[in-house]
Structure 1
Amino acid sequence: MNSESARSSIGSLALIPEVMTGVLLVGHGGFDKLVYRDDIPVPMPGPGEVLIKVAAAGINNTDINTRIGWYSKGVKSGTQEGATQGFATSQDADATWSGVPMSFPRIQGIDCCGRIVAVGEGVDLGRIGERVIVRNMLRSYVDYRPMEHWAFGSECDGAFAQYAKAPSRETHPVNCDWSDVELASVPCSYSTAEGMLHRAVVKQGEHVVITGASGGVGSAAVQLAKRRGAVVTAVAGLSKAEQIRDLGADRVVVRGESLVKHLGKEAVDVVIDVAAGPAFADLLDVLKKGGRYAVAGAIAGPIVELDVRTLYLKDLTFFGCTLYDEVVFENLVSYIERNEIRPFVGKTYPLKDIVKAQQEFLSKTISGKLVLVIPE
């Protein structure tokens, strides 16, 4: 079937342009690897897929980490060190979430909010017009094999363009009064945060420490932990402390200060960590015997010093959190629709300013999610 006949055979595609504006990642490295183009072919939804007119797309650590090749085991430092030029020690062979080499060019963008404008074979035409967000860890493309996934915008094209396609079963309608920008702040950050809380089985009344609390994942974790009835100590910069308290944190410890000094040893039930780095030992010291440590990031550095005696003598449980249970994303949609959480957007940018957005994201001077607005 040629492209024209295919285009007219799928619901509503006759109204979709042939090309679109978007940002191509053309290789691992610096900001120069992000190329803004207006002649990118519009994707066509295959069987079981939908085509989304993207309205907004959030900025995330993973977009930057993928661009610079940070996931490669050849990289030993935090994201910041290679954020501008990439890492000379990164190896293309293992520079993605999955450890499989990335295909270039790639449209990144793990956060997507938009409306379904066309559907592929086997998808109900009634889905056209729905406002949706896309599950960021896609399971359809790996046939739901255990512990496998494709990251939207990594193993397949994502939301940094006017159109994106995704599996229908992993594209969720959301009925709420949030703006497109606000909904685009949810998929990666909130699912990562909820996934950690879910894996660590955080319960009402438990004391939880959350690192990186002014960022997307951390601020989501503050709200989601409070929703579960936990007592929250958040770690954040001094200038952002009041905002984090407004999100529900019971206490804010300034980043760089000793948690042991503020909380005492063995005072905490659960640690939700996205930072790692030099503060790692302190996090284990404040955990009670039998405590749980969940991690889904290492922005302060992936290499830490672990005294294994602390791990086993305190009977600690460690959770490495990437893939999350299906119920996590479904729950997030329900939390939004029941007004149990709220968005925390720091700033928006037009898609053409993606480099500026990533630079300001890396500066850590803005609290909340930074979101790209996609051109009509």
Structure 2
Amino acid sequence: MTIPKTMKAMVLTGHGGLDKYQWHVDWPTPQPGRGEVLIRVGACGLNNTDVNTRSGWYSKSVDEATTGDAHEDVGSQDPSWGGRPLSFPRIQGADVCGTIVSVGDAVAPSRIGERVITDNWLRDADDPDNAAKAGYYGSERDGGFAEYTAIPSPNALAVNSDLSDAELATFSCSYSTAEGMLTRAGVTDHDTVLVPGASGGVGGALVQLAKRRGARVIAMASEAKHESVARLGPDRILARAPEDLRAALGDEKITVVADIVGGPVWPALIDILEPGGRYTCSGAIAGPMVTLDLRTLYLRDLTFYGSTVLDTEVMPRLVRYIESGAVKPALAATYRLEDLRDAQAAFIAKTHTGNLVVIP
């Protein structure tokens, strides 16, 4: 196929509000470098990293919940997930599904034509397990909010599935984040897992993937979204923020809290963990500043797990789940790429239950 010299792309020009996105119809099409492939993007999902990076929320100078608005003070040295400055302009978008249309040197031409999804963690080829050397696709390098995107060949994972591009674009970030959290916490069929924020992309993935491990799963979500959350298969659903969480749980013995919410409910989440329980976290959309009674931590022998850079086996395992039908996509809505601002506004407002995807 003939690859055009320019493409349509939504380009982030700096940290701030949605006005920092600029729509281009003649942005230079990337060329795959040595060891890279060029993907024609079929669909690209949205996630909290896109919002938080754009707004600068990751900076230690920001202590409020994720709002998606521009922050008055964004630290110049730590506004990204990795605590380092980004270079602009930048094309975001990590959750790509598409087709390989060109390859760089040292990549087999037979990869052309493969349908792929992306592994978003950009690793040092000589030291892949070193998290300190990891970057993120759509952050440290351009991503998929465009018609074409280039990525290292090992990060383009072939997938054999009857799901649509939009459905497949829901998996890379949300489901890998969830699987990474459950892997860190060692969740098994002996656990009862509490999932706050179960109506979101990662929360819904946590429900499915914890069930796949045989765990008992209790989801927390706003009442208006209970019906859609129920389709994911939790054993019970509670209100988003019960006035008395212990009373709402009754006799349930929570051994794992899998949290991306944080905020005001956080102390109650820790307080209901059983002795020896585990808390695993990969987000704080309701607020990053929380209060911990250290006596609860040490007297109950609790273990806390932060989860960001994934273990290398997580994404290949997720592809196997997808291909076997062990997990289902939670696609809420699709938007055109040029309407990314509207899609992100809806994502921030939690207008939908599940994942949002843009299509070039």
TM bucket normalised to smaller: over 0.9
Return 135-144 or 232-241, whichever deviates more.
135-144
What amino acid does structure 2 have at the position aligned with 1:63?
D
Q: 1:189 aligns with which of 174, 191, 212?
A: 174
Contact 2:129 2:312 (8 Å CA) reproduced: no
> Would the alpha carbon gap of residues 141 and 349 (structure 1) be closer, same or farther in structure 2, given more than 3 Å must change?
farther
Q: Which residue of 2 aligns with 1:118?
A: 102
State how far apart, in whole Å, the 2-side matches of 1:151 and 1:370 are. Answer: 20
Paired residue for 1:41?
28
Counterpart in 2 of 1:283? 269
Question: Residue in 1 aligned with 2:37?
Answer: 50
CA contact (8 A) 1:206 1:231 kept: yes
Equivalent residues in 2 for 1:112-151 (5 A)?
112-140=96-124, 143-144=127-128, 146-148=130-132, 149-151=134-136
Give the Cα–Cα distance (whole angstroms) in 2 for the partners of residues 113 and 21 of structure 1. Answer: 17
Partner Cα separation in structure 2 for residue 306 and residue 61 of structure 1:
25
Determine the C-alpha separation between the residues in 1 that align with 2:267 and 2:253. 14
Q: Does 1:334 align with 2:320?
A: yes
Cα deviation for residue 365 of structure 1 reads 2.3
Is residue 2:200 matched to residue 1:215? Answer: yes
Counterpart secondary structure, 2:280: strand
Structure 1 residue aligned with 2:186, among 193, 201, 211?
Answer: 201
Q: Does 1:73 align with 2:60?
A: yes
Q: How far 1:242 sits from its partner (Å)?
A: 1.6
Residue by residue, what CA displacement relative to the aligned partner does 1:241-283 show, whole Å, maximum 9, x if unpaired? Answer: 1211111111111112132121158820100000001111111
Aligned to 1:269: 255
Question: Is this contact kept in 2: 1:196–1:272, CA < 8 A?
Answer: yes
1:309 aligns with 2:305: no
- Secondary structure of residue in 1 paired with 2:173: helix
SS state at 2:150 partner: strand
Are residue 159 (structure 1) and residue 132 (structure 2) matched? no
Residues 129, 311 of structure 2: 8 Å contact kept:
no
Q: Matches of 2:327 and 2:128 in 1, distance apart?
A: 29
In the TM superposition, residue 42 of structure 1 has moved relative to its aligned partner by 0.7
Shift of 1:144: 2.2
Match of 2:74 in 1: 90
SS of the residue aligned with 1:93? coil
Contact 1:277–1:299 under 8 Å retained in 2: yes
Q: CA RMSD in A?
A: 1.3
- 1: distance between equivalents of 2:38 and 2:231? 37
Contact 1:266 1:285 in 2 (8 A): no
Structure 2 match to 1:3: none
Opposite residue 163 of structure 1, the aligned amino acid is Y
Report the alpha carbon displacement of residue 98 of structure 1 after superposing the two structures with TM.
Answer: 1.1
1:336 CA displacement: 0.6
Cα distance in structure 1, aligned partners of 2:168 and 2:232: 17
Residue 142 of structure 1 and its aligned partner are, at CA, apart by 8.0
Matched, 1:22 2:9: yes
User: Is contact 2:44–2:359 with CA below 8 Å preserved after alignment?
Assistant: yes
Classify the secondary structure of the residue corresponding to 1:112.
Answer: strand
Q: Displacement, 1:145?
A: 5.5
Q: What residue identity is the alignment partner of 2:84? A: V
Distance 1:140 1:60, change over 3 A: same
Q: CA deviation at 1:92?
A: 2.5
Deviations 1:14-36 (A, max 9, x none): x2111110011000000110001
Q: Alpha-carbon deviation of 1:346? A: 0.5
Structure 1 residues 265, 94: closer, same or farther in 2, change over 3 A?
Answer: farther
Cα contact 1:294–1:318 (8 A) shared by 2 = yes
Gaps of 5+ in 1: 1-11
Instruction: Say which of 222, 237, 256 aligns to 1:252.
Output: 237
- Confirm or deny: 8 A CA contact 2:216 2:235 kept in the other structure: yes
Q: Give the Cα separation in 1 of the matches to 2:124 and 2:93.
A: 18
Using structure 1 for the length normalisation, give the TM-score. Answer: 0.93
Q: Percent identity?
A: 51
Aligned length: 358
Given the two structures, how large is their TM-score scaled by the length of structure 2? 0.97
CA distance in 1, matches of 2:215, 2:227: 19
Superposition deviation, residue 188 in structure 1:
0.4
Distance in 1 (CA, whole Å) between partners of 2:122 and 2:251 is: 40
262-271 or 39-48, larger mean C-alpha shift: 262-271
